[in-house]
Amino acid sequence: MIDVLVVGAGSAGCVLADRLSSKGLSVCVVEAGPDLRSATTPASITGESFFDALAEPGLIHRDLEARRVDGQAPRPYLRGRGVGGSSAVNAMVGLWGEMDDYDSWERDFGCVGWGWRDVERCFRRIEVPLRRAEPEGPGSVAGSLVEACIMSGWALHRGPFPLAGIPADAGPAMLTRDANGRRVTAADAYLERARERGNVVVRTDVAVDRVVLEGDRAVGVLLVDGTEIGAREVVLCAGAIHSPTILLRSGIDRPGIGRGLQDHPSVPVTVGLQHERDPHSLAVSAITRFSSGRHDADLQLLPINHLGPDALGYGSISVALMKVSSRGSVRLNPNDPLAEPFVDFDLLSRDEDVESLTVGVGVLLELLESPSLASLARGFFVDDRGTALAEIADSPDSVRAWMREATGDYVHAAGTCAMGDPRSESTVVDSDARVIGVAGLRVCDASIFPSLPRANTHFPVMMAAEMVAGRW
């Protein structure tokens, strides 16, 4: 019988498959999407623009939708599908978060051994390379924004490390690319090596219906085609949308499953460019971090140099809130439990999130008046109807109304199988990522984060997998 069955070949699943198989355990990885091997990966995936990667057929969950803010209609939520998961289609930014993000997990939620002093060593173990993007000149959204920030006294971006009390930084982003500029996914760095071992099997294009239980023990999974795969231990690494969905379909009775859903809300200003950019060039090459005054490093500005081949002549700058208090949910579709679940982020449902994001918008409005950004743009817009930013910028009520209408996500879903003190009703997994009340079953992905770190989630997810593998 297989020692460990890993459900999902994304950022966490690839790390676990490698680390556990290196200990001599037999590992089977099952993945709902297609296979991607380093030698045959399409140019759209290895290339510079995540818009090209997202357009590659079969690599996102096409039917997955989510409601972001109360009053908005549900719309597609872009999660990676296939070997490599979202690491094959994301914007490649690498960040760790702030030290207190993890100290808070231990202090406030009871995640024993997950404080900064513990997780830092696992961040340093991550083998996906990070390379600094080349500085962009003033003819790009990234270069113009960074110039405006530096001229305003911001520090130069310090890479993936915590901002750690520095008021603000801006500069070229650290991206998950090799020395030749090719994207490196979690599968490239971990799963390719694991596959060379005789104790690893990878099965793709197979979706999991539920965990098979015998009493209070997991003994394998049932695929949607009716096939059963047995294992001594099952680890769900299907992400913060699909891991709780599998648990709910399995009938596991834990109140916190599917609750606590979080994402980083972001609101975009569209930049009409004076000069059209190559729609296949690097879309994201810089990052900024700063404070709302409520928490350190709780805001980001993300410049996007172009919006892909379907929106030539445009870029954008998004304001994102990185420390959030709003919570949403993932629920089964009662009419078809095997269909994509109902996903409701309920972003901006807490006043403090609205207030903090409003501060970020105000900072961006000031920066847009700088010579570098003013000369770059032929206009700044707040929607796809061509509404000029100036029409809402002078009215706080108009800004808030625009935020309610336009706020989206960072595609950083987390929190739906929260880790913490087993005595808490909201806790789903303990500090070893074991599902409480079910032997032989763990969850390891962003769903176990009790609160979102102030970072893009790719590196925190790999850190979590390194932590869990080390506790096996």
Quick: pLDDT tens for 418-472: 999 999 999 999 999 999 999 999 999 999 999 999 999 999 999 999 999 999 9
**CATH hierarchy code of domain 134-172+266-323+349-406:** 3.30.410.40
Rounded to the nearest angstrom, the gap between the alpha carbon of residue 21 and the centroid of all alpha carbons in its chain is 26
The reported pLDDT for the residue numbered 352 is 98
CA distance 35 to 14: 13
CB distance 260 to 327 below 8 Å: yes
pLDDT in tens, 31-90: 999 998 877 789 999 999 999 999 999 999 999 999 999 999 999 999 999 999 999 999
Mean pLDDT of the 179-199 span: 97
Report residue 358's pLDDT band, with 50, 70 and 90 as the boundaries: very high
CA distance 229 to 226: 10
pLDDT in tens, 87-126: 999 999 999 999 999 999 999 999 999 999 999 999 999 9
Tokens of 377: 């743009």
CA distance 462 to 446: 9
Domain ranges of the chain: 2-62+77-128+179-261+412-470, 134-172+266-323+349-406
The reported pLDDT for the residue numbered 462 is 98
* Total length of the chain: 472
Residue 87: strand, helix, or coil: helix
CB distance 424 to 413 below 8 Å: no
Report residue 189's pLDDT band, with 50, 70 and 90 as the boundaries: very high
CA distance 267 to 390: 16
Amino acid found at 423: R
Q: Kindly provide the residue ranges of all beta strands, DSSP E only, lying in 70-132, ordered along the sequence.
A: 75-76, 131-132
CA distance 44 to 53: 5
pLDDT in tens, 296-322: 999 999 999 999 999 999 999 999 999
The reported pLDDT for the residue numbered 138 is 84
Nearest to 243 by CA among 444, 466, 34: 444
Architecture category of domain 2-62+77-128+179-261+412-470 in CATH: 3-Layer(bba) Sandwich (3.50)
The reported pLDDT for the residue numbered 40 is 77
The reported pLDDT for the residue numbered 14 is 98
For the cut 90, the answer to whether the pLDDT of residue 411 exceeds it is: yes
Amino acid found at 164: A
Sign of CA dihedral 38, 44, 48, 51: negative
The reported pLDDT for the residue numbered 237 is 98
